[in-house]
Structure 1
Amino acid sequence: MSPIVIQVIQFFLSLSLLIVLHELGHFIPAKIFKTRVEKFYLFFDIKFSLFKKKIGETVYGIGWLPLGGYVKIAGMIDESMDTEAMKEEPKEWEFRSKPAWQRLIIMLGGVTVNFILAVIIYVGLAFAYGDEYIPADSLKDGFWVTEKTLGDKLGVQTGDKILAVDGNKIEFFRNILPEIVYGETMTIVRDGRTFEQEIPVDFIATLSEDRDKVRFLNLRVPFIIKGLSKGSINKGVDFREFDEVIKINDISVTYLDEATPILEENKGKDVIVTVRRPGGSIESLQAKVSDEGVLGVALGALTMKEIAEKGYFDIETREYTFLESIPAGIDKGVKTLNDYIKGMKKIFNPDTGAYKEVGGFAAIGGLFPESWDWPVFWNTTAFISIILAFMNILPIPALDGGHVTFLLYEMVTGRKPSDKFLETAQMIGFLILIALLLFANGNDLYKWLFK
C-alpha cells in the first residue's frame, strides 16, 4: 500500500475519533442538563449528508465535507446560523433557557474531553511501552552539529553541551531541539566554560528554509565501517565490516565528526587509516581520499544500542506500572500543551517568522508515519487532540472559546449579549476561521510547490 494512502487512512481515522469524542463532550452535558440536541454530525453536511438517521429527538449523521463536526443544540446561535427558532419564545429545553453555569459546562465539554483523551492515550502508551531515552548528561563530549551554517546561526559548535533552555534543565537528548525552538536563551558548556547564549528570535524561520536540515544536532558516534560504498575509490583496500577508525595519519579519531575536517584537508591524497578490528587488533591501511573528501566507505554498522554499549552515551529504559503511568501520562499531556502554547506565542510574533510553519491538513497528515505503527499513531493522535483543545478554546466567535468568553462576560456582568450581537459575532468568527484555514492550507500548497 502506498505510504501516502497509509498516512491518509491514519489521518481520517484519527480525525474522526477526535471529532466524535469532542462533540460527545458537548452532547453528554447537554443531555444531562435536559437540553435538546437536534443534530450530531461527523463532518459537515452542507446541502446533503452521506448518512443520517434520527434517533429520538436527535439526527445522527456523517457529512461529506471533512473539515470538522458539530452538534446542533436547540436555542443556541452556532455555525449553522439557523436563527429562525431564536425569534420564538424560549423553551425550557433550549440552550438559551439554561443557567449560565450549565451553558458554560456544555461549551467547555469538548475541549475538556480532548485534553482528557490525550492524557488517557499518554497513560496507555506509558503503561504499554514504557519510555526509552538518552539522558542529555550522558553525552560526555557534547553533541555533533551536522550543519555548520545552522550551528553558527544558533551559536553552537560540535562538542557543546546545552544544559538548560530558559533556565529549565534539559534531561533528555530528544528534547534539546524542541526546547531550543520554543526558547529564548540557552545555558551552554564549551571547553569547560559555562555561559548564556541568546536564541535568535527568527531561528524558526531559519529552520523552515530547509526542512531536510532540521535535525542538525546529532549524537557523536564512532567512525565504524560497514563496508565499501559502490564504486569506492578504495576498492581493494582491506576495510572490513565493524572496523573502527581510530587514527588518520598521525591524528587520533574518537568520533566520526572528527574525521571530516581531516579528510577535507587531504582531498585527493593518500592517507594512513588506522583501524581497530572487532577482535581488538590494530591495523594500518593505506587509502585514498576522494576529491569530495571521503574514503568511500559505508557507515551504520552498529545500532544505537550497540554504540551505547561501547560507552559513547547511555540509553535508559523506564517501565511503568499502571499506577505510575497515570502521573507520567498527565505530565506528558501538560508538557505537550505548554510546548504548544510556547509555539503559538512564537507564531503570533512576526519577528520569529514562525507563521511560515503554520500548516493545514497536509501538515497534520504528514505527522503520521508512512508505515502503520500503532504507538506512533496513538502518540500523534494525542498530540492532535491537544492542538484541538487549545485551538477550540481560543476566544474567537464560532469556536467554543468564543461562546465561553461571552458566557463569562454574562456571568460577571449579569448582562447577556443580545441575539443580534451573537449572530454578528458568529459571522465574524466564521470569516476569521475561513481566513485561517485558507492561510494554513495555502502554506501547505506553497511548500509543496516551491520547497
Structure 2
Amino acid sequence: MEFIIKISQFLLSLSLLIVLHELGHFIPAKLFKTRVEKFYLFFDVKFSLFKKKIGDTVYGIGWLPLGGYVKISGMIDESMDKEQMALPPQPWEFRSKPAWQRLIIMLGGVTVNFVLAALIYMVMAFAYGETDIATDSIKDGYFITNPILENMGAKTGDNVLAINGEAVTGYNAMRPKLIEAKEITIDRNGEEFILTTPEDFLGQLSTGEDRTLFQLRTPFVVAQVVDSSANKSVDLKEGDIITAVNNTKLKYFDEFGPFLESFKGQTVSVDILRDFEPITRELKVDEDGKFGIYPFSGANAKTYEKLGYYNVITKTYGLGESIGVGAIRFKEQIVGYWAQLGMIFNPNTGAYKGVGGFKAIFDVFPSTWSWEAFWSITAFLSIMLGVLNLLPIPALDGGHVMFLLYEMISGRKPSDKFLEYAQMVGFFILIALVLFANGNDVFKALFK
C-alpha cells in the first residue's frame, strides 16, 4: 500500500509538471499561429497508450514516463524531422516566425514552471501557514547522527547558532541551509565554536549511510515492541513515553543506549507517561543493552512542546501576506537550487555523487498521503525542471534560447545544418546525464 501511495504521488506530480510545461510552449505557439503537430504526456516510442487528433494537433499519452513534448512545425528538435526542414519554409512554421516570437515560445515552458512554483508557495502559505521550532528554545542541543559532523568536532548537545554567519531562528528553516554550509557556529555549554565544513562536505553527505546530520533530541516514545522481544507481553502502548530507568531520569532517547549498557540481562523498573499520566512497568534489558522496542521516529511537535522540550512557532497568513511569504520562499528555493547546481558542476565538492534520477525523486514522496507534502515537493520539482531546462545545452529550452539570443544580437541566424548537429550533440549530452543520474540510483541501491 505504501508503494501505491508513493507511486501515485510521483506520477501525479510528474504528469502535472510535464503537461503544464508543455502548455507553456503550446499556448504561445498557437497565439502566434504556429502549427503544433503533437502534444504528448510521456514519450510514445513505437506506440501510444492513447492518441486523438483535434485540428492540426495529435494529443496523446505515451508509455515511457520520462517526460513529454510538443512537436512544433518547422523546428529542429528531438524529432529530427529532416524531411520537413528540407522543404521551403511555410507561414505556419516555427522557423518562419520573428525571432522574438520564437523566443517567447521557447521560454514559455520554464516560465510556467516558475509561475507554478510561486503560486503553490503562495497558496500553501495561505492554506497551511508555517510551523517551525524556535531554535533558541532548544535547551540541550541536537543529537549528532552523522560521523561527518563528529569529525568536524560537533558533539551531541551542541546548539547551532548560525550557518555561514547568518543567524538561525527556526529548526525546519535551518536544515536546507546546511547543504551550502561552509561554517557552522555552535554553542556548547555557553561557549561558541566555529566548525568548518570540508570542501567535499556535500559529496561525503551524499554517499554516507546516514544523510541526516543531526536530529532534535526527543524522549523515548514507544512505537512498537519487537515480536522477538522479552517485553512483548508487557503492557506498553504506542505513544508511551519512557522517562526514567531505576529512578534515574532520562530526558532524551539518545541517553538510553549508554545508560542501559550496565543493565544487560537484567530487569529494570521504568517510569512511563501515558496520556500525560505516570505509570510504572518492569522491562527486561537484552544482551545488547536494549529493550527490544521500536522508538517513535516522527516528532509530535505539539506533544513535545507540552512536555517542555521546545517551543513551536505557528504562523498564519492572510491572502495579501501569503503572496509576499510565497514569493520569498520561491526566491529562497530558486537561489538555493542554483547554488546546489553550481556545486554539482564543481568536482571538488563531490556533490555530483548525490545526483539522482527517477528513483531519487520517487523516494522524496512520503509513504502516507499528504497534500501539504505533495504540493511542497511538486513546487520544488517545478523549480528544478525550470532551472534545468534553462541550461544552455542544445536539445533543452536553454539551448534554443541561447541560439535565438545570438540571432537577435548578431542579426545572423545559425544554419539549419548547424542547429541539427547541435541538437544531436545536446541529445547525447542529455542521454549521458540521464544515464549518470539513474546509474547513481542503481549504484546506491546495490552497494549502499
TM-score relative to the length of structure 1 = 0.87
* 1:158 aligned partner: 156
* 2:370 aligned partner: 373
**Alpha carbons 2:18, 2:67 under 8 Å: kept:** yes
Distance change in 2, residues 1:257/1:331 (3 Å) = same
Distance change in 2, residues 1:53/1:278 (3 Å) = closer
> Structure 2: how far apart are the matches of 1:3 and 1:278?
29
> Structure 2: how far apart are the matches of 1:447 and 1:228?
30
Which amino acid in structure 2 is aligned with residue 101 of structure 1? W
- How big is the shift at 1:68? 1.3
Distance change in 2, residues 1:146/1:432 (3 Å) = closer
* 1:192 aligned partner: 190
How far does the alpha carbon of each residue in 1:19-71 deviate from its partner, in whole angstroms, 9 at most, with x for none? Answer: 11101101111122222222222222233333222222222222232221111
**Alpha carbons 2:266, 2:286 under 8 Å: kept:** no
* 2:102 aligned partner: 103
Matched residue count: 446
- How big is the shift at 1:247? 7.7
**Alpha carbons 1:180, 1:199 under 8 Å: kept:** no
SS of residue matched to 1:366: helix
**Alpha carbons 2:220, 2:296 under 8 Å: kept:** no
**Alpha carbons 2:219, 2:241 under 8 Å: kept:** no
Which runs of structure 1 show a deviation greater than 6 angstroms over 4 or more consecutive aligned residues?
224-241, 269-274, 276-288
* 1:293 aligned partner: 289
> Structure 1: how far apart are the matches of 2:254 and 2:203?
27
* 2:39 aligned partner: 40
How far does the alpha carbon of each residue in 1:290-341 deviate from its partner, in whole angstroms, 9 at most, with x for none? Answer: 5433466775599432221122101122122222222222222222222222
> Structure 2: how far apart are the matches of 1:126 and 1:277?
35
> Structure 1: how far apart are the matches of 2:185 and 2:408?
46
Match of 2:169 among 164, 171, 174: 171
> Structure 2: how far apart are the matches of 1:132 and 1:202?
32
Moved more, 428-437 or 267-276: 267-276
* 2:345 aligned partner: 348
Which amino acid in structure 1 is aligned with residue 202 of structure 2? I
**Alpha carbons 1:274, 1:282 under 8 Å: kept:** no
**Alpha carbons 1:154, 1:203 under 8 Å: kept:** no
> Structure 2: how far apart are the matches of 1:54 and 1:284?
72
* 1:405 aligned partner: 402
Matched-pair identity in %: 53
* 1:17 aligned partner: 16
* 1:140 aligned partner: 139
- How big is the shift at 1:352? 2.7
> Structure 2: how far apart are the matches of 1:64 and 1:285?
57
Distance change in 2, residues 1:294/1:432 (3 Å) = same
Which amino acid in structure 1 is aligned with residue 341 of structure 2? M
**Alpha carbons 1:392, 1:401 under 8 Å: kept:** yes
Q: CA RMSD in A?
A: 3.4
TM-score relative to the length of structure 2 = 0.87
Match of 1:221 among 218, 222, 231: 218
* 1:129 aligned partner: 128
> Structure 2: how far apart are the matches of 1:64 and 1:239?
49
* 1:448 aligned partner: 445
SS of residue matched to 1:84: helix
Moved more, 288-297 or 226-235: 226-235
How far does the alpha carbon of each residue in 1:381-411 deviate from its partner, in whole angstroms, 9 at most, with x for none? Answer: 2221111111111110000000011111122
* Equivalent residue runs for 1:51-450 within 5 Å: 51-147=50-146, 149-211=147-209, 213-222=210-219, 245=243, 253-264=250-261, 266-268=262-264, 290-294=286-290, 300=296, 303-450=300-447
Distance change in 2, residues 1:314/1:125 (3 Å) = same
Q: Structure 2 unaligned runs (5+)?
A: none
Distance change in 2, residues 1:86/1:269 (3 Å) = closer
**Alpha carbons 1:126, 1:325 under 8 Å: kept:** yes
> Structure 2: how far apart are the matches of 1:17 and 1:394?
22
Distance change in 2, residues 1:257/1:103 (3 Å) = same
> Structure 1: how far apart are the matches of 2:17 and 2:224?
48
> Structure 2: how far apart are the matches of 1:133 and 1:322?
20
**Alpha carbons 2:143, 2:214 under 8 Å: kept:** yes
Which amino acid in structure 1 is aligned with residue 70 of structure 2? V
Which amino acid in structure 1 is aligned with residue 334 of structure 2? L
Which amino acid in structure 1 is aligned with residue 323 of structure 2? I
**Alpha carbons 1:123, 1:326 under 8 Å: kept:** yes
SS of residue matched to 2:317: coil
Distance change in 2, residues 1:82/1:337 (3 Å) = same
Moved more, 268-277 or 192-201: 268-277
